[in-house]
Amino acid sequence: MKREKEFPENMHKDPNNWRGLLYFNRKDPRLIVPKINDTGWALNFSSPYSWILIFAIVLIIVASQYLI
């Protein structure tokens, strides 16, 4: 059980999963991961849910401009 918890916790520390400030790792099931230096959070851009979240935020912003 403990090993399962450690596996995703250490995945974000691998520099090969980072492309600049963006995190990409298909094996990591988390949508939001801590940044590599542990000062904030980042989205896991290999998850389709992160793209849905970004699209929803942009849609809300664009729709609010037309509704106001």
CA–CA distance, 33 with 35 (Å, rounded to integer): 6
pLDDT per position as a tens digit, 11-65: 888 999 999 989 999 999 999 999 988 789 999 999 999 999 999 999 999 999 9
Domain that holds residue 62: 2-67
- pLDDT, residue 6, reads 57
- What is the number of structural domains in the chain? 1
- Residue whose pair of structure tokens reads 């389709």 in the numeric block: 48
Reference 60, options 42, 68, 50; nearest CA is 68
Q: What is the pTM of this model?
A: 0.74
Instruction: Look at residue 37 in the predicted model and tell me its pLDDT.
Output: 82
